[in-house]
Structure 1
């Protein structure tokens, strides 16, 4: 990823180990993919009128452990001419600490979601956070599918773009994480939605696939969705 990309979302770049993590060659020598551009080189917050609070609904469904519902809040304010972002990612026992950004450009909700997901993968499998970050980074750089997708936001149908990746599908080291081989991530973004991020989703099957017999009864199901539900004050 280019220096400009890291400048626009420096904290996310560091957390996802985007520099020198791909193996052969260097990130700087590679062309930035459309998925990377959408997620890391776009000024997601440019159209938000501040001060503002963006609220996202979080839902987890699972047959591995109890699911739950919660929320994520992103508070935006101008301080000394810079856009400050404070992210409250989940609450109570599920709360994840994310450092505040003193000069935000990209939407830090993306960072919070990925870091939460990576921490959960580490907890469930015993794998390393560096490994999971690298697989996500490589999938975005080399194997992401980007498509147009209409969404309904506050009663209106607007155009969006969906980025889909399966980081572990073609990993030669996947044997240790065989049950998570087909885990899919979907990121839905739209310029017509405040903060640009409409929905973030990670899926390893759904409960109904087990009930209907389309997936083995002992197959792990972990489905997490984060969806923008409100912005205050209301954006024009």
Structure 2
């Protein structure tokens, strides 16, 4: 019995550590001055309990759409399966972020607070930026974190969900606009991110979007990726 108890505790620590590592990946690699204070945008995205309004097992379903100016693109899905709450108030979560070769591996968590769909979106975006530009993963994480800490706009918004209006927050950033290395970013300098959150919807994450704008006179973005909450249903 003692051995089984120790094993379960060790497993739980590993799951919690996995969650901490995912969050730390966005909060690491910043100058010490930025690490002293956490901005409102960072708190909303990385230090809020997005799952606190869930009362039982649910499956959160997100629609993921990738568009490109030349017509290339794809549609896929993200699903976050939320289990029952543990006796200590924690909640078990597993996530499938996209499918096939596009799938982003996210570890199961035995005691989650943040919505893993948010971190999956950012990790995919960062991996794509690395692939397209040859930059480092830590560089892109750092730029997003600095933008959230120094230059994020946060404003209240009204969102339409499940036939009703809910109140939420809109967070917007442009990580590369004032980047000292912007000359190496070329077409990505104007890239922007918009995060829509609401405590009145399951899982708090309503929509996440990244956009690479087109030329000044272009009517369409070069690349746009959007993940939107499609619905929630009772779990198994």
* TM-score category, normalised to shorter length: 0.7 to 0.9
Change in 2 beyond 3 A, CA 1:117/1:64: farther
Give the 3 Å change call, closer, same or farther, for CA 216–225 of structure 1 in structure 2: closer
TM-score by length of 2: 0.85
Q: Does 1:147 align with 2:148?
A: no
**Other-structure match for 1:133:** 141
Is structure 2 residue 20 aligned with structure 1 residue 10? yes
1:1-236 aligned at under 5 Å gives the runs 10-16=20-26, 18-19=27-28, 21-23=29-31, 25=33, 27=35, 29=36, 31-63=37-69, 66-78=72-84, 80-81=86-87, 82-205=90-213, 214-215=217-218, 221-233=222-234
Please list every run of 5 or more consecutive structure 1 residues that lacks an aligned counterpart in the other structure: 1-5
TM-score (norm 1): 0.85
Q: Deviations over 1:23-54 (max 9, x none)?
A: 25361x2x221101111121100111221100
Aligned residues: 217
Greater Cα radius of gyration, structure 1 or 2:
2
Equivalent in the alignment of 1:3: none
In the TM superposition, residue 66 of structure 1 has moved relative to its aligned partner by: 2.2
| Distance change >3 Å, CA 200–CA 131, structure 1 → 2 | same
Matched residue, 2:3: none
For 1:228 and 1:176, locate their aligned partners in 2 and report how far apart those are by CA, in whole Å: 34
Residues in 2 aligned to 1:38 and 1:26: alpha-carbon distance in whole angstroms: 17
